[in-house]
Amino acid sequence: MIQQTLAIIKPDSVRNNYAGKILSLIVDHGFSIKAIKGVHMDTRDAQRFYGIHTGKPFFDKLVDFITSGPCIAMILEKENAVDDFRKLMGATDPNEAEGGTIRSLFAENKTANAIHGSDSSDNAFIECNFFFSIQERF
Ligand code: CMP
């Protein structure tokens, strides 16, 4: 089934100038970019975006990190996009990420971990709508 997922190239990747290499990997793995823009989230945006993690021990660190600089948000489309993109990202902890995945190549640690991808098709729908209006989609 053709699906869409929401991806975010996180501030560490943007700062380290990895965005171009990450975009190439994404396209080379068969994803079509259906929307893309730069965003610098403020604390309120980040707390809302990561609402399901409210109260977890890493929540404040996560919010501080994601607001620390600009990100690149994208809607990606392909067959089985949600699960396939999570495979391409690799495990949350770069030390556990499989070789060749985005996090194994570019992430620093569990917080500065290079990339975000929706974890379910329901969340993909919510997250794509969080960032993009209909007019911003290709
Ligand atoms: P992301 O896929 O953007 O969604 C939730 C984020 O929480 C995740 O990436 C990690 O950056 C962060 N996260 C999840 N688990 C931990 C953890 N144990 N310690 C620190 N950060 C975490």
CA 54 to centroid of ligand 1, rounded, Å: 12
Establish whether residue 110 lines the binding site of ligand 1, counting it when its CB lies within 6 angstroms of any ligand atom: yes
21, 25, 37, 101 from 98: Cα distances, Å: 18, 15, 28, 6
The answer to pTM > 0.90 is yes
Q: In total, how many domains does the chain have?
A: 1
CATH number at residue 13: 3.30.70.141
* Residue 48 CA from chain centroid, whole number: 15
Tell me, what's the pLDDT at 76? 99
Residue with CA at minimum distance from ligand 1 atom 7: 62
Mean pLDDT of 81-91: 98
Return the structure tokens found at 17: 């100038």
- Sign of the dihedral defined by the CA atoms of residues 69, 18, 9, 66, in that order: negative
**37 labeled binding residue:** no
Nearest CA to 69 out of 12, 115, 110, 133 is that of 12
Distance 115 CA to ligand 1 centre (A): 10
E-only strand ranges, the chain: 2-9, 32-39, 71-79, 115-117
**What confidence tier does 27 reach under pLDDT thresholds 50, 70, 90?**
very high
Residue 93: pLDDT band with limits 50, 70, 90:
very high
- List 76's β-bridge partners, or say none: 5, 33
- Give the distance from CA 28 to its chain's centroid: 17
Does the beta carbon of 113 sit less than 6 angstroms from any atom of ligand 1? yes
Structural domain range at position 52:
2-136
Q: What is the mean pLDDT of residues 90-118?
A: 98
Q: What is the number of residues in the chain?
A: 138
Name the average pLDDT for the chain.
Answer: 98
Measured from the CB, is residue 130 less than 6 Å from ligand 1?
no
- Ligand 1 atom at shortest distance from the alpha carbon of 89: 2
Please give the ipTM for the structure prediction: 0.93
When pLDDT is averaged across residues 100-116 and rounded to a whole number, the result is: 98
Write the pLDDT tens digit of every residue in 49-75.
Answer: 999 999 999 999 999 999 999 999 999
Atom 8 of ligand 1, residue of closest alpha carbon: 92
- What is the percentage of the chain residues whose pLDDT exceeds 70? 100
**Closest C-alpha to 136, from 70, 69, 43, 38:** 38
Q: Whose CA is closest to 50, among 88, 87, 10?
A: 10
